[in-house]
Structure 1
């Protein structure tokens, strides 16, 4: 990337160049943040409120696997040229479709919160997170939670159309 930048290649934008370099060794930890108009809070802080803002999910709704978890830490990484990247460190619940830790009944998804997944790879980009809420699942028992996805008011997921791409 550095060679492309020196040669003046337009592919080597400031954003790509910054990300191709390592972030600063120092980083900032936040307890809450707003991403795409939605407030997220770390679980430890969230437990002090009546509202719930620490539930997260990521993955493709139409794909084989969607990942559910809770937000543990928000990291702000600083790169050169003033670029910043926000990462979420999460506790992921095991949602392996081959296992017995996720149940879908009547369009309601329940996850076993005692079974964790991806403990060695807990990070996602903050922009990849969608907020979810967890409710106790009285039918399945103590460690089971029903997952409720929410479409927030005045926030719309509108696909972008690239005018440069021929239809």
Structure 2
């Protein structure tokens, strides 16, 4: 991975470990930034996101933590595995490039997450609430924390969406969002498929998929491909 991709992948893994001790460190760093950094809430949130990994690495050196948090603080190996398909949560996911060769559609994903939502960079009062994201998988990678554990991430393009007057979710493929945070844990997402609007180009309707059993997933025309980079 190049340095930018490495940073984005590691940052997402850090903020989504689900580990109680890491969550405590995240709150501690956020409080430090809120107290000492200059700028509004948007600026401070950006500083917290950008600087936490380096702060966490130094923090771990000074306190007693489990072995897996020591390796987590180092960041992943720069060499990661790349997959064209991945099965999890009852879904067979494909990256978009592979789906181009298949009759089925398995690259659509949705994620609901609690996050601080800013109306703009000048917003002083972010709203903490549930936000639903819609996107497509561009890459599937497995990052390795030096043999201690590994994490599978989907790198996605995320799009603006809205609910129309009929309660359907419209997704605008020409309007990307969250471009600075493209990664998501494979375990976090659900699969959807997109139906193109018959009138408006690059507008799609998101429809839910039902998880299926593994034995229903044979796809002779789409062999599983694994690459290393």
TM-score of the pair, normalised by structure 1:
0.74
Question: Separation in 1 of the partners of 2:201 and 2:207?
Answer: 18
Q: Secondary structure at the match of 1:105?
A: coil
* Count of residue pairs the alignment pairs up: 140
Equivalent position of 1:66 in the other structure:
132
1:113 aligns with 2:173: yes
Answer 1 or 2: which has greater strand percent: 1
Equivalent position of 2:93 in the other structure:
40
Q: Which runs of 4+ in 1 moved over 4 A?
A: none
Give the superposed CA RMSD: 2.2
From 133, 158, 175, the counterpart of 1:92: 158
Question: Separation in 1 of the partners of 2:113 and 2:78?
Answer: 32
8 A Cα contact 1:18 1:81, kept in partner: no
Structure 1 residue ranges without an equivalent (≥5): 6-11, 96-101, 156-167
8 A Cα contact 1:74 1:88, kept in partner: yes
How far the C-alpha of 1:137 sits from its partner, in A, is 1.5
Answer 1 or 2: which has greater helix percent: 2
Question: Separation in 1 of the partners of 2:97 and 2:147?
Answer: 33
Q: Which has the higher contact order (CA 8 A, sep 6+)?
A: 2
1:77 aligns with 2:143: yes
Structure 2 residue ranges without an equivalent (≥5): 1-59, 115-128, 215-229
Deviations 1:84-124 (A, max 9, x none): 101111011123xxxxxx23232311111111112222111
